[in-house]
Every structure is written in structure tokens, then in C-alpha cells.
Structure 1
Amino acid sequence: MQRIKTALSATASLALSLFCAGPLALFLMQPATAQPGDQIIYLDQGWSQAEREMYYQISQGSSVISYDIFKNLEVAASQDLFRSDANSDRYGLIPQPANPRTNPDALPIGLSKTVIAQGRWKGESIGMTCAACHNAQLNYQGKRIRIDGGAGNTFDMMAYVNALDDALQATLADTAKFDRLSARLGASSPNAKAELRKRFESDAERVHYYRSRTLITPTAWGPARIDAIASIVNRLTANEPGIPENWSTPFAPTKPPFLWNAPQGSWTQWRGTQQDPIQRNLTETMGVFMPLDLRAKTPDEGLFDSNAAILNLQQIEHALERLAPPKWPEDVLGKIDRNKALQGKALFGTHCASCHNAWPYTWTEPNKLGKRFVEVGLVPQEYVGTDPAQFEILRPFVITGQLSGQLPPPYQGKEAVPTGVLYEVLQKRILAKAMTQVKLTDAEAIDLHGYREFPLPPAPRHVYKAAPRDGVWATPPFLHNGAVPNLYEMLIPAKERTKKFYIGREFDPVKVGLDTSGKSGTFLLDTSLPGNSNAGHSFENGPRGNGVIGPLLTDAQRWAIVEYLKSIPEEAGRVTPFGGAPNARSGHGKWAGP
């Protein structure tokens, strides 16, 4: 039985965490914005409290606006502070009490202070971290279950950025608002106010440009979903180089994938396109306000400069190597029917295991560095039949402009190239230049790249990742685009799934998903809109392929599989060995098929 401890206050809980920070700790604590009786439950995911605190607040190099302005900015329609716990919670960020070690200003999970000590971007700013989107909280009957490294099921990034832009624009337009901001920052003289306004205008322009260029789309994403691919590609190929014609519409939002077992996996990203962890993590930061230069004429003049926090990203990746999938807390969500789960395990082996690897996993053969990786199923989109928008959103070609001379043969000097070519070259050049600043030994560089073997294999095309399902119970909504509200509906014919539902914040432990009634969340997800399809991954009678992946199941079979998925991992705090155990069983190296 897992131990649960309840703290009477945020201060007491913080002190208690210092004693319960070992890998087997599970405890409750009361957040700053909690109502009486609300509790936060931390599951045993292999992390110490120190690792958790680091992950929540460490800077990735993102720089949104000046830190002092963010701390004192008012929301657009009132004098309430934008950074308040109430406003953070409104947009799905998870508030926290102050922590003198890593979070003295009580920022919500996923926001951090970025300090740039020198150079053109010198200063202190507020930035986003991976925890903003890759951390979750499941609410159930007044309890809040923290899922570290989970799919951020509440954060509405698009709405948050839009609200930040509204707040900045309102302050520019409203003299009283700006005067109150000036007073809070001690800018009382005319010269001080003029300097503050100049800095404020620069910050406001950056956010407004991001909102009106990077994020503009006809389909609102809503909570738990982000079109990271188009947003990053737009920033690298259109916005930062100043070539607006290269813009692609970000209408293919996906939910942030969970991160346990990601460093150990053979492939990451929903499309199975990444292996190198530092390239993956730095590219993510490029999409969320990392300062970078794609307009200088040459690298000597600053082209490809960035605020890449290489060593911080490595620290995050090392922590993720030690992150365990969360075990279902029976004392909170209800007992698991072990007999039913055993039946579900057999059914999973028959109908699901050809795509989804299961513990103790099938591993790749050791590479030349002696490391194995967990085989991740890569299933053709035309077989699984789920929404194809990820493969359709990007324009096929882009203008190279002033960057044409920086491309390798045979693209060097070309005025237009495939979008993927320019995007890949730019991200690699930014990474390469950042690497020159950190002076790593050969061994350290191998570690930074996750012990991957170079040259990397070509990324597969038009496939979706089918990773192991351990801990999947904690990651609603489901499918890559979050278009299915619970696990039960993942096992029925696609045509019978809910076509419109509210993305709620209350957890449903029966069907294992989110409340869809509108009582705990008011964003209505319409699966008929582009990028929102809930087709595919269908269990129905008929030939396999074109979206049909298994036979029509009986209701008893569906509930048995759901019970099995609740039961894995079977052991709390079970961390997958990075690089593979010596006796790991070797796999086939590709999708096994139906």
C-alpha cells in the first residue's frame, strides 16, 4: 500500500517534502490556490522532490517578455495581475506556492526566469519550459493527482498567449494601466517612464507578432492541444527570417505526448521523426520564444546565434531518463479488478501488442555505443486511419531569401526549396553554433546526443508512433490529436465515438478519461473541424487497414482492456533502464503489422 501524507499548509508541505523526497515518496500537499479540502497527490514516478522542482522551473532559454514587466502586468480587463494564481489557473497552468530554492516568485509550473548575462539579448525575462505542456494534473473529487512528464491536459497555450497579447496591448492603450505598471516598477521620472515604455513596446511587439503570425489559425486549439510542428516551422522558415510568404496554417493540433520512456525509445514525436534528444529539445525551445538570429548576413555577423540553454536541456533529459510511468492510485481512484485486468492483458496481447510494445519490452540490438532502445511501433497513417493533417499542413516549398547561400548542395543558391529542407538545415545550424559555446568532451557530446548512432537513419514518412501504454491511463484525451475523450471510446467503432465534447478538468475513472459534460471545462472540441478528426484506430468487423485495426469487441472485452490499461505499470516507480538491460530481448526493428 502506498503511503499518503496530508499537509495542513503549503509551508508545512514544503518542509515535509524535504524528508519525503526519496524515490518511493507519495504525499499530498495543498497548493496556494486550493480550496479547503483540496489535495495534491504526488505519485511515485522515480523522481526526488529536487528533480521535480528542477523540471518544473529550469530555464530552456525561452524569453517571452521582461521578467519585471511580467510580474507587474495587469490583465486586459481589470487591475488583477496577469501572473496571479487565479489567472494562471484560468488558462490551465498549474499554480504553486513559493519555493526559495527554485521558485521564489511562486510561478506556475512551466514558467521560469531566464537570465541572459551578456550579449544582444542580455536581461531577465519570463520564459516557457517543457513542463508547461508536458506535465499534468488530474482532478477527482477535490483531489489533484500530479502526473510528472504527462500530457498537459489543462493548459490552453493559444488562449494564454492571446490573453498576454491582450494585456500588453491594453496597457499600451490605457494611460492609467501604464502609470500603475510604472509605479510598481519604480519608474517615476519622465526619463524612467520613457525608457520603460520603449522596453514595453518591444516586448509587446514580440508577443503580438507571435500571436498574429505564428499562432494564427481558423481552428482554435483549446486545452491540451498544440500544433507544435507548424508553429516551429513557421518561426524558423517564415517569421524569424522575415519571409512571411513561407507561413503555413497551424491547423493540426496534437496533445503533448507523455515523456516517460521517451529517452529510452527508438523514435519520438507523434510522427516518429526524432532520435537525437538535444535536437528534439532545442527545436521545441525554438518554437516558444527562444531568441535566435536568422536575419544577419553571415554566421560571423550573428547568423544562427541563439539563446540555446544546451546544458539545461541535457539536465532535463537526464531527469527524464529516470522518470517512471505513473501507477494507478487505487486509494484515490478505486480498486483494480485484477481478474478482469488479467483477461484484458490477454486481449491486449492479441489485438494491440503488434503495435504497442509491452513490459519488459522488446529492444533494438545494441548499437556501436553499446546501447539498446525500446522498440517503438511506427504504424502507417493509411493503416491506422487517424487524422492525417500533420502530413498536410506544411506548404511543399518555401522561399530561401537571404538564407539561400547557407544551404548545402544541391540546394545552395536555390531561390525555393522543399520546406523540410530549409527547416532541417536551419535547426541543425542553430544547434551546431550553440554547441560551439559549451566546449564538451567527446564523451560528454555522446551523452548529449543520447548515445545515438550517427549518421542517424532517415526519418520514416507518414507514420504514427505507437509507444508502450504504461501509464496511458493518466494522459487523456486520446489519439495523437486528443479527439477521443476516454480509453473506452478508443476500443469501439470510430463511427460510434462522441463527435463533440467538452474538454473538462475532472477525471473520469470509469471510462478513464475526461469529464465531457461542460461542468469542469467549457472548450467544445468539434471533431468535424480540420485537424480534429476522431476517425481511425477503429475496432469493427471488416478487413484490416483504412482505419480498422481490430475486430468488433464485446462490451466485456472492452472493459477488460480498459482495466488492464489501468493496471500498468504494475509496479510503482519502475524506471526503464536507459540503454537497455544486458538480457533485453531483441525485436524486429519495425512495425509488426496486424
Structure 2
Amino acid sequence: MRAILLSALIVAAFAGSPVRAADPIYTEQGAGWTQALRDDFYSRDQGSRMILLSWLQNLKQANGQPFLADSLGRYGYLPNPANNNGLPVGFTASGASGVQIVGMTCSACHTRQITVGGQSYRVDGGPAIVDFQSFLADLDAAVGQVLSSDAAFNSFAALVLSSARPDADDVVALRQDVNAWYLRFHTLMTRALPTPSWGPSRLDAVGMIFNRLTGLDLGPSPDFLIADNIQKADAPVRYPFIWNAPIQDHTQWTGFAANGSDVLALSRNLGEVFGVFGVFQPTNDGIYVNFLNSNSANFDGLGKLETLVRQIGPPKWPFGSIQPLDAALVQQGQQIFNRPTANGGCAECHGIKSGTVRFPGIQTWATPIDNVGTDTRAHDVLAWSGKKTGVLKGAVIPFVTQPLGETDTAFNILATSVLGSVIEQSLRGGGSPSPAALIATGVATQIQNGPRIDLKRLPPALRDLQSAFHPPAAAATPSNLLSNLRIQGLAIPNLIAPPTPLPPKGAYESRVMQGIWAAAPYLHNGSVPTLAELLKPAAQRVKQFKIGPAYDIVNVGLAVEQPQFNYTVTTTGCSDLNSGNSNCGHEFGTRLSDPEKKALLEYLKTL
């Protein structure tokens, strides 16, 4: 059991009574998006392992109430009546032999609920309006309180062990387990969480992935910590919507990850699992790195989740009975949308256009990576370097990466961890989805069996695999150990696509805007509350605004008053472009007349 607890990672989910709220109206998201698929999306396990359910059920809030009393509703998470553990949307409980460990799945961060006129509207795949940092900090405090005294712990132990007078040895063992879990959790929280906090709707996702992976997974047993690898995750971005995620040709706000095929989707989703506390404890004997040792990633679940996401359509505007769309304005707005960018149009960057063709012949939608003068801080995270590689020192993915040094970039460590896990899973064939089979027919065949590669299939497969992350050029060339190896007379470097450099600082992906009306706040860092504000010059945009689910159907975005959260975003202007909160940039459409802006907003409601 102790091994499970040491592996159980951070954050937490909540059992207990679900929030009793009026049933939401589900927005129309395509005829194929059924209630059965929705239920699956809300609860499909992807391999996240956070904390024991029995512990969470017996923790207390600072006010003495059960920590799970509102099923996370106070943080913005949504009730999921289909979950008999009382866990909210996007939280799972899994495990064998009665040991249930709570985890997180993608719907926790990508399900939105907004309110208009007292009625709630559910948007599946939309950016969640949740306060993740407060959740983390409060969980840290709750477990810390349990460990603060013998009396507090004995009370907790009696509940967890279901005995008014538990066996003394069981209490000692439980305390050792809680101490071990808390050491890892508290180390991450104290070193990573920033002040001021991210607030609702935002988080530094990439920073926390880097911190959790390099800080909690690669050190020596029993705690696996390399605490010095953890730094402040102070580059908040807003949660993206995911209904177009499988088809766009790049992903992540900075566009560092190629996208659009099964192989790339698996790499993208596995990185997310590591970020929400999937177990990852690789071993390295100097010859072979075992990436799947104590690796909790549910490859089958990840494949099924990606299939579910493909079926989520963009939400249709649900407020027609409150404010019917003006057909004449919509038509005028469409014409404005399709104008050249110089004339206030949007389609050149945000229209549906053909992107990169991914192996095997999959056509993506273009998501151009452009610098439009917005906040730059998210790029600083990609430059995190000097991270001790610990057990992964020397790890290399043949034909794809350079061996990791004693210290390396967080980016390279993540890429090696994700790609190594995907390839090893494909070699084992243990219930792996079809993406792994693609790799097995190419790269993996060469790794195991020598020069028996179908050169008609290998180069595209390698290009997709290598581009799962855009590694810095210096780290992307094939290993020198392979420089003299030849396959059918061709040198290995000739089989590998040239490395793609990271996007320049300040450049972000320009996504197709289907469903954009449901994605406030705007810009990659969530620094603009409504689309109406985004059509103002940066200098005229509001400097402060509240975040919450209350929705403004006129200005298309966050309402001015937000009763759920007591949180105000304070932005900076163009003079502090690297603050993480700058609302500068994206001045497109700002010179349109007021009637033209009104027409454009009316059209954007229809996407």
C-alpha cells in the first residue's frame, strides 16, 4: 500500500454529496453528441492518480466542514450525478482491492457552465471556470492540519481506518503514508504556486507540468524528489476550448506541439496526464530506460477520450429566446469577418483553412503561429533550463532525441518522457491504441529488430513523432551514436525531418473561432473579459474585471458582476508586456465603426 501512496500524486478530488443545483440546459453541440457520450467524457479514466479517496472523504475545511461537502463546487467544479462517488465532472476514482485513488480527467478543465437570467447553460469541451490554485492550496492546508498534532491525526485515522480504536500499528503506518504524500505535495505547493494567484479560469499549465515531472518523478527513492527543479509557475493562461483540438495542426498556446494525428494526440494527452499527477517513476540501469515502470497512464482510456473529443461539436448560441439573432446583422458581420485583416477582417488568421497533412494523409486545419503583440510571459516557461535529469540522465529516443545530460531543459525532459513512454507502450502492445501501432511499425521495429524498416512508412511516422514537441534545434539532431548507422544504404539523419525550432517569443497559435462566444476571457492569458472589449484599442480596454460564470450576451463574454468568486483580474498594459497579465496586442478590428463592431459580434455568436 505504501508504494501506492508514494505514487499517488497531488491535487485531489472530492467524494461526498454533489452540489444540488438546478439542472443546466445543455447547449446543442451536434446530433452525435449524446448523453451517453457526455457521461463517458465526464468520467473516463486517463491514468491520473492523485490521492486516496478515503483520505479526501475524511479531511476538513478550515471552517471545520467536510472538505468534500460541496463536491468542489466552491472552486467552480460541476456536479456529476452519474458519478456514484459524488465526485464532480472530470474526477475519477479507480484502483483494485478496494483501494480507490482519485484522479482527474480532461473534462474537469474543459467543461464550462455559464449563467444568464438565473439559468445555467452547460458547454462540453469549453474552458472551465474553476479556481485550481485555491483548490491546491486548500488541500495542502487540510492535510497539513491533520499532521499538525497527535490529536488531529488520531481523529483522522479513526475515520480512515473505520475504527473508534484502530490498531496502533495501523495508525503508525497510516501516518508514515500521509507524511510521505504530504512531503511531495507540500514541496510542490510551496515552491510552485505564485502570488498573486492564477485565479478562476486560468493556470500555468505548462509550468506545473514541468514542475511536477522534473521535481517529483526523477529523484531517488523513496520520495523521488528533486526539489530544486521546481520554480514559480507564474505564467497563467486561460483554459482553451477543445472541440477543435483533434483537427488543428498545432496545440498549446505557444504552438510548441504539432497536432492532428493519432500519434500526436497520444503524445499531447500523455503530457497532460503527467501534468495532472499521473504516476511516472522510470528506472535506468545505464543501458535501458524503463519508461513504463510504475507508469499509471491509461493508454486505452486516452485513446477513447480522444475519440470522444472528436465528437464534441462547437456549441450553438443558446440565447435565441432571450435575444434573437439579427439575420441582417449576421450577414453583414460575416462579410466583415471575411475581409482582409488590414480592413478589420478575421478569416486570414481564424478562418477554416487547410493545414499540415499528418501521417497517414490526415488533413488538419491551419492554426498559424503569429506574434500579434500580446503578453510574452508564457514563452519564458519553455526556456526553463538547468533542470537535473536524475534517473533520466543519458536517456535517448533513437532517431528522435539527443541523450539527456546531467542537467537539461524542462522541455527536453518532458519530450523524452512522453515519447519514451509512447514507444515503449507500443513495443509491449499491452492494450495500446492504434497510434502506438503506427510507431511500432516504424521506429520501434528498428530499435528492437535492426534494419527491417519500410522506408515508405518510416519517414512520415518519424516526422510526426519528432514533431510531437518542437525541440530546440541543438537538441533535435539525431544522436552522434547513430551517425554511422545506415539502413538500406541511407544514413539515419537522412531519414529524419529537419528539426522545427520553437516559435519566437511572443508568437501564439491563431485558432479557428468556432464557439468563440463561449470562451471568455480572451487572449491566450485571459486578460480581456469580452469580445466587445477585444475590439477596443488596448489602451482603452478595462484594467480590472471580475471572473465567474455570469455571462453578458450583449458584449459576448464575462458579465461585470460575478457573485460566485471574489476575484478580480488586474491587468497591465503594453509597457509591461511580460507580466503574464498584459492586455496588450491583437488590435485587429479596433478601427471598425461601432455599427460594424456590432455586426461582427452578431456573426461571431453564430460560429
Q: Is the 8 A contact 2:204 2:237 kept in 1?
A: yes
The separation in 1 between residues aligned to 2:346 and 2:178, in whole angstroms, is 53
The separation in 1 between residues aligned to 2:384 and 2:18, in whole angstroms, is 45
Aligned partner letter, 2:44: I
Q: Tell me whether 1:156 sits opposite 2:139 in the alignment.
A: no
Q: Tell me whether 1:91 sits opposite 2:107 in the alignment.
A: no
Aligned twin of 2:145: 170
The separation in 1 between residues aligned to 2:96 and 2:256, in whole angstroms, is 31
Aligned twin of 1:420: 411
**Cα distance change on mapping 1:330 and 1:448 into 2, 3 Å:** farther
The Cα offsets for residues 348-382 of structure 1, whole Å up to 9 and x where unpaired, read as: 1111111002xxx3224755523211222222x2x
List aligned pairs for 1:25-424, cutoff 5 A. 33-34=19-20, 38-46=22-30, 47-78=33-64, 80-85=65-70, 88-97=72-81, 99=82, 103-115=83-95, 123-153=99-129, 155-185=130-160, 186-187=162-163, 188-189=165-166, 190-213=168-191, 215-242=192-219, 243-274=226-257, 275=259, 276-294=264-282, 297=285, 305=293, 306-331=295-320, 333-350=322-339, 351-357=345-351, 361-364=352-355, 369-379=360-370, 381=371, 384-393=372-381, 394-407=383-396, 411-412=402-403, 414-424=405-415
Q: Tell me whether 1:554 sits opposite 2:593 in the alignment.
A: yes
**Cα distance change on mapping 1:171 and 1:512 into 2, 3 Å:** same
Q: Tell me whether 1:536 sits opposite 2:585 in the alignment.
A: yes
My pick for the range that moved more, 301-310 or 155-164, is 301-310
Aligned twin of 1:580: none
The separation in 2 between residues aligned to 1:106 and 1:149, in whole angstroms, is 21
The separation in 2 between residues aligned to 1:365 and 1:273, in whole angstroms, is 15
Calculate the TM-score normalised by the size of structure 2: 0.77
Q: Is the 8 A contact 1:76 1:171 kept in 2?
A: no
Residue 571 (structure 2) aligned to one of 524, 527, 530? 527
What fraction of aligned residue pairs are identical, expressed as a percent?
31
Q: Is the 8 A contact 1:297 1:303 kept in 2?
A: no
Aligned partner letter, 2:250: W
Aligned partner letter, 1:559: K
Question: Paired residues, what number?
Answer: 507
**Cα distance change on mapping 1:133 and 1:342 into 2, 3 Å:** same
**Cα distance change on mapping 1:521 and 1:332 into 2, 3 Å:** farther
**Cα distance change on mapping 1:432 and 1:365 into 2, 3 Å:** closer
The Cα offsets for residues 93-151 of structure 1, whole Å up to 9 and x where unpaired, read as: 11233x3xxx111211121113267xxxx942111111111111011222111110101
The Cα offsets for residues 230-276 of structure 1, whole Å up to 9 and x where unpaired, read as: 11112223332244443343111111110102111122221222211
**Cα distance change on mapping 1:404 and 1:196 into 2, 3 Å:** closer
Report how far residue 518 of structure 1 moved: 4.8
The Cα offsets for residues 142-176 of structure 1, whole Å up to 9 and x where unpaired, read as: 211111010112x1111101111111111122545
**Cα distance change on mapping 1:333 and 1:168 into 2, 3 Å:** farther
Residue 514 (structure 1) aligned to one of 530, 553, 558? 558
Report how far residue 184 of structure 1 moved: 3.1
The Cα offsets for residues 325-349 of structure 1, whole Å up to 9 and x where unpaired, read as: 0000134552111211111111111
Q: Is the 8 A contact 2:330 2:602 kept in 1?
A: yes
Report how far residue 92 of structure 1 moved: 1.1
Aligned partner letter, 2:463: P
**Cα distance change on mapping 1:509 and 1:425 into 2, 3 Å:** same
Aligned twin of 1:586: none
Structure 1 spans left out of the alignment, 5+ residues: 1-30, 539-548, 569-594
Tell me which stretches of 4 or more aligned residues in structure 1 moved more than 6 Å. Answer: none
**Cα distance change on mapping 1:145 and 1:164 into 2, 3 Å:** same
Aligned twin of 1:455: 463
Report how far residue 465 of structure 1 moved: 1.2
The Cα offsets for residues 159-203 of structure 1, whole Å up to 9 and x where unpaired, read as: 101111111111122545434433333143223333332333233
The separation in 1 between residues aligned to 2:394 and 2:362, in whole angstroms, is 38
List aligned pairs for 1:424-435, cutoff 5 A. 424-435=415-426
The separation in 2 between residues aligned to 1:474 and 1:161, in whole angstroms, is 26
Calculate the TM-score normalised by the size of structure 1: 0.79
Q: Is the 8 A contact 2:113 2:123 kept in 1?
A: yes
Aligned twin of 2:531: 487
**Cα distance change on mapping 1:258 and 1:354 into 2, 3 Å:** same
My pick for the range that moved more, 553-562 or 332-341, is 332-341
Root mean square deviation of aligned Cα = 2.8
Report how far residue 73 of structure 1 moved: 1.9
Q: Is the 8 A contact 1:67 1:113 kept in 2?
A: yes
SS of the residue corresponding to residue 387 of structure 2 reads strand
Aligned twin of 1:504: 548
SS of the residue corresponding to residue 567 of structure 1 reads coil
The separation in 2 between residues aligned to 1:438 and 1:72, in whole angstroms, is 39
SS of the residue corresponding to residue 495 of structure 1 reads helix
**Cα distance change on mapping 1:66 and 1:440 into 2, 3 Å:** closer
Aligned twin of 1:589: none
Aligned twin of 1:17: none
Aligned partner letter, 1:517: E
Q: Is the 8 A contact 2:300 2:433 kept in 1?
A: no
**Cα distance change on mapping 1:497 and 1:202 into 2, 3 Å:** same
SS of the residue corresponding to residue 329 of structure 2 reads helix
The separation in 2 between residues aligned to 1:488 and 1:448, in whole angstroms, is 46
SS of the residue corresponding to residue 128 of structure 2 reads coil
Q: Is the 8 A contact 2:426 2:436 kept in 1?
A: no
